[in-house]
Amino acid sequence: MSNGLIFFGKSKSKIMKIPRPRPFQKRVVIVGAGFAGLTLARKLDADYFQVVLLDKNNYHQFQPLLYQVATAGLEPSSISFPLRKVFQRKKHIVVRMTEVRSIDPAQQKLQTELGELHYDYLVLAQGAATNYFNLTQLQQHAYSMKSVSEALLLRNTLLQHYEQALNVTNPIDRAALLNVVIVGGGPTGVELAGAIAEMKKKILPKDYAELNFKQMHIYLLEAAPGLLNRMSAASGTSVKAYLEELGVEVQTNTSVKDYDGFRVQLSNGDCIYSKNLIWAAGVKGVVIPGIPSGSIAAGNRILVNEYNEVQNAQRVFAIGDIAAMQSSEWPKGHPQVAQVAIQQAGLLAENLRRIVARQSLVSFQYKDRGSMATVGRNLATAEIGRVRLKGFIAWVVWMFIHLMSIIGIKNRLLILVNWAWQYFTYDQSLRLIIQPTSKNNTSVKHEQTIHTSNRVSVPAGM
Residues taking part in catalysis: 191
The answer to whether 242 and 227 are in contact (CB under 8 A) is: no
Q: How far apart are CA 91 and CA 210, in angstroms?
A: 57
Q: Is 48 exposed, middle or buried (0-12, 13-18, 19+ CB in 10 A)?
A: middle
Q: How far apart are CA 116 and CA 114, in angstroms?
A: 7
The answer to whether 374 and 398 are in contact (CB under 8 A) is: yes
- 358 Cβ contact partners less than 8 Å away, ≥ 6 residues apart: none
What phi and psi, each to the nearest 5 degrees, are found at residue 403?
A: -65, -45
The answer to whether 183 and 279 are in contact (CB under 8 A) is: yes
Q: Is 261 exposed, middle or buried (0-12, 13-18, 19+ CB in 10 A)?
A: middle
What phi and psi, each to the nearest 5 degrees, are found at residue 289?
A: -55, 135
Q: Give the strand pairing for 121-124 and 316-318.
A: parallel
DSSP category for residue 325:
-
